Amino acid sequence: MHLHVNIRSSGPLCPFANESVQMELEAGECLWLKGDSGAGKSSIALHLLGLRPLRDAQVGVVWEGVDETNRAFGMVFQQGVLIDSLNVGENIGLAIRRAGGSASREAIRKALTEVGLAETDTSKMPGQLSGGMLRRASLAQVLAQGRPVIVLDEPFVGLDPTNARGIVSLIQDLMARGQSFILISHEDQFAAPLATPGREVQLVAHPVSDVTPRNRLMPHWSFFVRTSRRLFDYLVISAPLILFAFMAAGIAISMLFSELLEATNVDSLRRQIIDPNPSFMEKLFGVTLFQKFVGYEFDRIASEHLPEIRRRVFAMGISRGFIIELGPMLTALLLAGRIGGSYAGEVSMMQATHQNQLLRTLGVSPRKWTLGPAAIAALIAAPVLTAIGVGTSLLMARVVALSSGYELFANGEQYWQAISEKALVYQSLWTYPPFVCFYHSMIFMILILGVSEAFGRLRPDIQPRDVPRAITWAVVGASLAIIVADWGLAQWLLYLQPIQNFLE
């Protein structure tokens, strides 16, 4: 095998200052890619793997003695990376299968043995491995795919000298079997024994500019800053979701309600009273004359009262449905995923990455750190978003009610007058529809935060792979709590104020 890589700088965004970089590699060799931080070592590696193009650079790669189907690089990322939801054996089996091989137990055992791991390590999860074992398992996964060249990105970082020397010995054994490597490392004492003589490439970083980074006006550990950032997240970013959801709901429910009222028009009810095809006996005994008399009276009464009845029914259904029932609950269900899922994910990820433990060592309560700003922001955002949703749905209902297909109201002023008569009449403060909407939204948001807090901190030893599960349980649990609470609040409201006769 022979690999030749030619990289030529073509612009100011190229990460290294070298005019060109030449990399030559034979089977069983190790090329040491050196340079200061920011010189572009990892950028070159990511380009070779097809993960991220190298900016302002022309890259030529020539393979010789390698089958066209296998002209690809493998990579062991810094500190070793495995799929967190798979155990070691499954990670290696995935690599073997994607390479077209059979992910048998024997093939997995062989891959582990090559890197000095035991068969008993097959069922271990990545979070259960030490730093040295994780790097060996990552290397086994890449080797299982048979890539001719493997990039090692800082393989010794975080390892004690004994484990680092073990990795050096392992790489030397693999080189003796013909495996080639591109090594990125600042650890000269471990990289030097691996580098093949003449296979060292020095990258030169661009001079550091004297531009001073912009300082923040206020530190982000400030309670005010953390609360403000959450308020922007919860309120401003959530607003379009609420707006479009209630536009759709407002139009759909208003049209359905209007269709139901359309069934009560004069012609429909008249046909139920007057038989259009009377029998001979009915004509003989004057039944038809009586029906016509009733029909005339019905037409007069219906034309005088029925439109007003339909308007009142529509106004009561829309105002009560959106302001008291649907508005707060639909907003809460949307925010259970938007805010509840976000909060549960943040808390559980801080748990998985030991940030909560760090806060405790600093004398800071992890719960106060996250729950305080989140609670203030969420309790401000919830009623505002609910009001936006309710207002949007009422506007959509107005469009439907005044449309030529239904013509329930003559104009917008008549529509708003009918809505206000039903929405602003109350027996006590607790039954005042806008206030009902407000405290329903607050209760629902307290439930969302409480359930999300509980599921986010449920497992002190949670792993990153379990964070999505915590989010799912938080969203589902909060949604169920909202549905149950909505039923309870509806029963309580009916106890305080039964539904009034719509003709009143």
DSSP string, 333-397: HHHIIIIIHHHHHHHHHHHHTTHHHHHHHTT--HHHHHHHHHHHHHHHHHHHHHHHHHHHHHHHH
| Assigned token pair, 81 | 């990376």
Helix/strand/coil for 5: strand
Torsion of Cα atoms, 206 then 208 then 214 then 219, to 10°:
110
The span from the CA of 171 to the CA of 72, in Å, is: 19
pLDDT at 289 over 50: no
User: How many other C-beta atoms are found inside a 10 Å radius of the C-beta of residue 462?
Assistant: 21
User: How many other C-beta atoms are found inside a 10 Å radius of the C-beta of residue 263?
Assistant: 8
Pick the closest to residue 32 from 206, 145, 164, 189 (CA basis).
189
Over the stretch 455-465, which tens digit does the pLDDT of each residue have?
Answer: 999 888 888 88
CA dihedral over 103, 104, 110, 115, signed as positive or negative: positive
Pick the closest to residue 88 from 104, 116, 113, 112 (CA basis).
112
* Beta bridge mates, 31: 182
All structural domains of the chain, each given as residue ranges with its CATH number in brackets, are 2-203 (3.40.50.300), 223-496 (no CATH)
Across 153-175, average pLDDT: 89
Amino acid at 150: I
pLDDT band at 243 (very low <50, low <70, confident <90, very high): very high
Over the stretch 360-398, which tens digit does the pLDDT of each residue have?
Answer: 888 889 999 999 999 999 999 999 999 999 999 999 999
Residue linked to tokens 């950032």 = 229
For the packed helices 366-402 and 327-335, what is the interaxial angle rounded to 10 degrees? Answer: 140
Pick the closest to residue 455 from 470, 467, 443, 475 (CA basis).
470
Q: How far are the Cα atoms of 136, 330, 366, 467, 470 from residue 454, in angstroms, in the given order? A: 37, 23, 13, 13, 10
This prediction's pTM? 0.74
Residue linked to tokens 């001979």 = 280
The span from the CA of 167 to the CA of 171, in Å, is: 6
Q: What is the pLDDT, as a whole number, of residue 287?
A: 44
The span from the CA of 339 to the CA of 373, in Å, is: 13
User: How many other C-beta atoms are found inside a 10 Å radius of the C-beta of residue 106?
Assistant: 8
| Assigned token pair, 125 | 């999860």
User: How many other C-beta atoms are found inside a 10 Å radius of the C-beta of residue 359?
Assistant: 17
Q: What is the pLDDT, as a whole number, of residue 66?
A: 86
Over the stretch 40-85, which tens digit does the pLDDT of each residue have?
Answer: 899 999 999 999 999 999 999 999 888 887 888 989 988 778 888 8
Over the stretch 216-228, which tens digit does the pLDDT of each residue have?
Answer: 677 777 889 899 9
Structure-model confidence comparison of residues 358 and 88, the more confident one: 88
Q: What's the angle, vertex CA 445, arms to CA 375 and CA 363, rounded to 5?
A: 25
Pick the closest to residue 456 from 364, 352, 317, 363 (CA basis).
352
User: How many other C-beta atoms are found inside a 10 Å radius of the C-beta of residue 101?
Assistant: 14
Amino acid at 469: R
Residue linked to tokens 């979701």 = 241
Helix/strand/coil for 225: helix
Q: What is the pLDDT, as a whole number, of residue 285?
A: 44
Residue linked to tokens 């582990």 = 112
Helix/strand/coil for 441: helix
* Beta bridge mates, 64: 2
Residue 336: Cβ-neighbour burial (10 angstroms; 0-12, 13-18, 19+): buried
pLDDT band at 445 (very low <50, low <70, confident <90, very high): very high
Helix/strand/coil for 398: helix
